[in-house]
A and B are shown apart, each in its own frame.
Chain A
Amino acid sequence: MIPIEYWLVFSSLLFVIGAYGVLTRRNAIVVLMCIEIMLNAANINLVMFSSYHSTLHTTVDSTGQVFALFSIAIAAAEVAVGLAIILSVYRRYQTVDVDKINILRW
């Protein structure tokens, strides 16, 4: 059994990498991908805590696992919506650079 700290460090790294990407990348598609990475960091946490809980109490509690599956399904839907938005933005502006898409301001 891999100690829980490893997992925690791993998912934190994954989350921070994703957040860094969201904050810095110009390409909207890459931003979307980074969001997926952040989401997966959360998923890993869910699965990991579920497994840790089961070993700790010597029971089989799969709530966290099932929740992770839900999360993945929703992420898929979210990607579909996100890509659709990016597609229509691209049709309107001929670019997916998030710095250029800034008319919603003062």
Chain B
Amino acid sequence: MLEYAWLIPVFPFVAFMLIALMPKRTLWWEDGAVYAIGGALGAMGLSFLVVWDVVMGNTLTDGSQRFEWLVVGDFSLTFGIWIDQLSAVMLVVVSVVGTLVVFYSGGYMHGEGETRRRYYAEIMLFISVMYGLVIADNYLLMFIFWELVGLCSYLLIGFWYERPSAASAAKRAFIVTRVGDIMFMAGIIILFKYVGSLDFAELFSGAGVAAVPSDMMILATALIFGGAIGKSAQFPLHEWLPDAMEGPTTVSALIHAATMVKAGVYLTARSYPLLVQAPESLLFVATIGGITALIAATAALAQNDIKRVLAYSTISQLGYMTLGLGAGGYLVIHADSAAGYSAATFHLMNHAFFKALLFLCAGSVIHAVGTNDMRQMGGLGKVMKITSLTMLIGSLAIAGMPPLSGFWSKDEVLAAVWHAGEFDPMFTLLWLMGIATAFLTAFYMFRMWFMTFAGEPRSDYHAHESPKLMTVPLMILAGLAVVSGFALFIGDGFKAFMEGSIDGLLAGAGHESVLDVAVEIFTDPLTYLTLALAIMGIVLAWKMYYVPGFDRSVFAKGFNGKLQKALENRWYISKFYDDFAVKVVYAASLVADAFDRYVIDGIVNGFAYLGGNMGQVLRRLQNGNVQRYTGLIVVGICLLLILVLYVLPWGGW
């Protein structure tokens, strides 16, 4: 089955071609949604077969059938597919969320008219290239798909391009992630220089790793993680993600919560065999992750746009994943344990489900109320029962309430970071940031939930529950948010499953049994600490935003209101980019412009001017006197004769 995995991206791609190219009247229902659903379902079916094969213990990491893409001299570039446990997790995420989002779009995009065709075409293209990214077995192939998902993200953020804010948000997302992409490219160029190949099979082999000097390995892995910083919206390149909320909510759910932003985490996890050779890079990864988690969680506290809260929450959770991966690398090096690695990938999967759920719920709310501003909502729980209930499940999951999925994975991540603290004290600090984030996460999620669904309506809206086409995907995702955490205990458990993907790095120590994992979770006092913090966050949110009569201005007055202002302005990071970075770039472009205008153009125009002036002088030679011309001809012939008869033989030619 695995060798047919290359067919997975083909289904959505065919759907994309059909939607984009078929005549309008053949698009049927919802301007192409039928093709989109067909493509998504086909890919999902095949993905599930492939994933089943992986669960059965088969992987395809070497010797897949390869096709030749480029031949330069005696170097040939071949592409193939790479299916292991990590790819399988991503396949599950992309196929489930992708398919549900396509169904949901049928309801959500109903009012968009003919532009739906563009929407479905772009969504299908995105799903197709996302599958391609996941199954690529070569950094270059991965990079190509990496850029393509960036393109789709750009197109879909700017879906309502007639709105200036959407157009500029799209550009911003594209340009900011491009900074990371350049770093990614630089990283793979360094690897290519030393190893001479970009195939995972060769790079991750002992010989491939040994070919790179250790300082270059640090640089290369840090640069590759730079790609993840851009794509996964890590500090300091995270500000594009909240702006990306200008796109339709379905796009935010699919691309900017569940799949594309996970590509950076996926890349980092994929590069593990290289990363564990460079502990400095791992520390860098973990530090960036920790800072991102905390900064984004604090920024989410003061947002009033429901989607922006979720966007910051996404950034924060992505920070958790990178933090887990960084700590997991230390555990691989020092303790031969895949705990951090499996925890981060586990959180990746769980987060994809509950964050897609939360975004789709937010979409349902926006669909009903017609605004993103939570200050104008309130009391929606009475009219939108399914949405409010599913969103409650999602919020509980992300807050880390047992037995929902977020509890298991977040706890695993934090436990891994805590254990990594034994090998580097930095991780203890990062762990503190992690549990602070856990508290903040619970608080802002329930602040959002209470502001949206509880209390009395704060504006004059006429909300109604969304159609079945939208609520059924919500219910499915809510179900997944409840049960996906139990993957930790199915069969040999998720941990043992993920160990398969990096078993070459582990010294072959036997993995923990499912029972051990469970016992470890429930006997660890840290679990209860995190849980207590999360409950405190929820209670605080309940007190502040549900119980009437609470004076919230107490907090606003802290630090003379400066803190509140800083949070509302998202720590001024965006402002910094606008005020400082953009000005620097603008000044640099002014210099470049002047250089182009005066130096480059000066040279070109100078030559043109020289030609013109010489012409002015030389044309005087053409005076119309035939005898002058004849004389010149005779002189010329005489000169040529002298040249041929005397000068050239004398020179030895």
With CB as the reference atom, state the residue of chain A lying closest to B615.
A106
Chosen A-B contacts, 29 in total, with CB atoms closer than 8 Å, are A19-B634, A22-B627, A22-B630, A23-B627, A23-B630, A23-B631, A23-B634, A24-B627, A31-B627, A98-B625, A98-B626, A98-B627, A99-B625, A99-B627, A101-B624, A102-B623, A102-B624, A102-B625, A102-B626, A103-B624, A104-B624, A105-B622, A105-B623, A105-B624, A105-B625, A106-B619, A106-B620, A106-B622, A106-B623
Which residues of B sit under 8 angstroms from A105, Cβ to Cβ?
622-625
From residue 83 to 103 of chain A, which have CB atoms closer than 8 A to chain B? 98-99, 101-103
Which residues of A sit under 8 angstroms from B622, Cβ to Cβ?
105-106
A103 to B619, CA, bound (A): 14
Which residues of B sit under 8 angstroms from A101, Cβ to Cβ?
624, 626
How many interface residues does A have (CB within 8 Å)?
Answer: 13
A103 to B625, CA, bound (A): 9
A101 to B624, CA, bound (A): 8
Which residues of B sit under 8 angstroms from A22, Cβ to Cβ?
627, 630
Q: What are the nearest 7 A-B pairs in CB distance?
A: A105-B624, A102-B624, A106-B619, A105-B623, A104-B624, A102-B625, A106-B622
From residue 594 to 653 of chain B, which have CB atoms closer than 8 A to chain A? 619-620, 622-627, 630-631, 634
A95 to B47, CA, bound (A): 97
A103 to B623, CA, bound (A): 8
Which residues of B sit under 8 angstroms from A106, Cβ to Cβ?
619-620, 622-623
From residue 220 to 246 of chain B, which have CB atoms closer than 8 A to chain A? none
> Binary interface profile of A, 18-40, with partner B (CB < 8 Å = 1, else 0)?
01001110000001000000000
A19 to B633, CA, bound (A): 11
With CB as the reference atom, state the residue of chain A lying closest to B620.
A106
A101 to B627, CA, bound (A): 11
Which residues of A sit under 8 angstroms from B630, Cβ to Cβ?
22-23
Which residues of B sit under 8 angstroms from A99, Cβ to Cβ?
625, 627
A101 to B623, CA, bound (A): 11
With CB as the reference atom, state the residue of chain B lying closest to A104.
B624
With CB as the reference atom, state the residue of chain A lying closest to B623.
A105
Q: Chain A's nearest CB lies how many Å from the CB of B156?
A: 63
Q: Chain B's nearest CB lies how many Å from the CB of A50?
A: 24
With CB as the reference atom, state the residue of chain B lying closest to A99.
B625
Which residues of A sit under 8 angstroms from B627, Cβ to Cβ?
22-24, 31, 98-99
Q: Chain B's nearest CB lies how many Å from the CB of A98?
A: 6
From residue 258 to 287 of chain B, which have CB atoms closer than 8 A to chain A? none
Q: Chain A's nearest CB lies how many Å from the CB of B625?
A: 5
Which residues of A sit under 8 angstroms from B625, Cβ to Cβ?
98-99, 102, 105
A105 to B631, CA, bound (A): 16
Which residues of B sit under 8 angstroms from A24, Cβ to Cβ?
627
A72 to B75, CA, bound (A): 70
> Binary interface profile of B, 538-563, with partner A (CB < 8 Å = 1, else 0)?
00000000000000000000000000
From residue 21 to 64 of chain A, which have CB atoms closer than 8 A to chain B? 22-24, 31
A104 to B627, CA, bound (A): 13
A97 to B625, CA, bound (A): 11
Which residues of B sit under 8 angstroms from A31, Cβ to Cβ?
627
A65 to B117, CA, bound (A): 87
A24 to B624, CA, bound (A): 15
A5 to B623, CA, bound (A): 40
With CB as the reference atom, state the residue of chain B lying closest to A19.
B634
Highest count of chain A CB atoms <10 Å: which of B626, B631, B634: B626
Q: Chain B's nearest CB lies how many Å from the CB of A30?
A: 12
A19 to B625, CA, bound (A): 16
> Binary interface profile of B, 36-57, with partner A (CB < 8 Å = 1, else 0)?
0000000000000000000000
A40 to B356, CA, bound (A): 101
From residue 508 to 540 of chain B, which have CB atoms closer than 8 A to chain A? none
With CB as the reference atom, state the residue of chain B lying closest to A102.
B624
With CB as the reference atom, state the residue of chain B lying closest to A103.
B624
With CB as the reference atom, state the residue of chain B lying closest to A24.
B627
Which residues of B sit under 8 angstroms from A23, Cβ to Cβ?
627, 630-631, 634
A99 to B625, CA, bound (A): 6
> Binary interface profile of B, 357-374, with partner A (CB < 8 Å = 1, else 0)?
000000000000000000
Which residues of B sit under 8 angstroms from A103, Cβ to Cβ?
624
A99 to B620, CA, bound (A): 16
A93 to B186, CA, bound (A): 78
Which residues of A sit under 8 angstroms from B631, Cβ to Cβ?
23
Contacts A23-B627, A24-B627, A98-B626 aside, 15 further interface pairs with beta carbons under 8 A come to A23-B630, A23-B631, A23-B634, A31-B627, A98-B627, A99-B627, A101-B624, A102-B623, A102-B624, A102-B625, A102-B626, A103-B624, A106-B619, A106-B622, A106-B623
